[in-house]
Amino acid sequence: MTRAFVFPGQGSQAVGMGVDLADAFATARDVFQEVDEALKQNLFKLMREGPESELVLTENAQPALMAVSMAVVRIIEKDGAKPLAGLASQVAGHSLGEYSALAAAGSLQLADAARLLKLRGQSMQKAVPVGVGAMAALLGIELEPAQEACAEAAQGEIVAVANDNGGGQVVVSGHKAAVERAIEAAKAKGAKRGMMLPVSAPFHCPLMQPAADAMQAALEAVALGTPRIPLVANVLASEITEPGNIRRRLVEQVTGLVRWRESVQYMKSQGVEMLVECGSGKVLSGLVKRIDKEMTGVALNAPADIETFLKTA
């Protein structure tokens, strides 16, 4: 079976994330310690104990999610003695998960990925004052009508599609009032419902340009190698391997549309039959069937999941 390994984005964090992996595997403990040392922060204590109000802060949630994803990958490679390159034809990640994917594929060092995501989280939070921006999920609508709703709702402000997640789920982002108008405009175009999301900043829209500028400077200062497995990039929905191109796409991704539905369809076109989600939660593996009924998704976030997967891989 041809597989792609995929890595979750923000929203999958929860207090207790990674704890069962750390309890079961020294490999996971080593990953969490390396991330703590890179950040000069006791992030794993926060992951283990909370408080949730601190863990959900973008600058903490992003490196924490990457750390759990990388713990899963390292357990598979080290304890399971199965190199990722022999298991997956491609890697992809949803938003911050793209950094996890690059670390898993050997393009980014773990410590660099942790520091970049900390900065990414801080920069995204600083880009727009709290309360000015917002995001909303539109359900029962596809990409094009959602884009039309955003165009109608802008009225001199910014609102854009941030994530095309597939299965009729589209997320919009921008100025709060414009996002609220977009919900109503989308309902007129057939959306079943729209709901504001509990996020601290309007990700993946032009309001994030200051964060994109910060990430461009940071990425230029970091060593980026050719990934051992091609990356399916969020903003392209196709695969790339050249480090300079990867850098550019990571910068574009801060303000750009996460083309997840098209990314999954691209992987299917390349022969991928199964998406293996590594890390916290089951969001991406749950979306698979809504995008393509012929594909399957499996989530690896607990020791038993990994052990079951290794028996069949």
Rounded average pLDDT over 159-188: 97
How far apart CA 51 and CA 31 sit, in angstroms, is 21
Q: Which of 95, 100, 107, 280 is catalytic?
A: 95
Is residue 155 classed exposed, middle or buried when 0-12, 13-18 and 19+ CB atoms within 10 A define those classes?
Answer: exposed
Q: Which of 107, 175, 204, 280 is catalytic?
A: 204
Domains of the chain: 3-127+207-312 (3.40.366.10), 133-199 (3.30.70.250)
**Is 204 designated active site?**
yes
pLDDT at position 198 over 90: no
CA 240-244-247 angle, to 5 degrees, is 85
Instruction: Kindly provide the b/e burial profile for residues 228-254, where b requires at least 16 CB atoms within 10 angstroms of the residue's own CB.
Output: ebbbbbbbbbbbbeebeebbbbbbbbb
> pLDDT tens for residues 7-41?
999 989 999 999 999 999 999 999 999 999 999 99
Q: What is the pLDDT of residue 186?
A: 98
The per-residue pLDDT of the chain, averaged, comes to 97
pLDDT class for 217, splitting at 50, 70, 90? Answer: very high
> pLDDT tens for residues 251-272?
999 999 999 999 999 999 999 9
β-sheet bridge partners, residue 90: 4
Q: Is 247 helix (H, G, I), strand (E, B) or coil?
A: helix
Is the four-CA dihedral 16, 120, 32, 285 of positive or negative sign? positive
Q: What share of the chain is helix, strand, coil (3-state, %, to 5)?
A: 50, 15, 30
> pLDDT tens for residues 101-134?
999 999 999 999 999 999 999 999 999 998 899 9
Q: Which amino acid is at 301?
A: N
How far apart CA 73 and CA 87 sit, in angstroms, is 11
Tokens of 33: 């310690």
Could you tell me the pTM of the whole model? 0.97
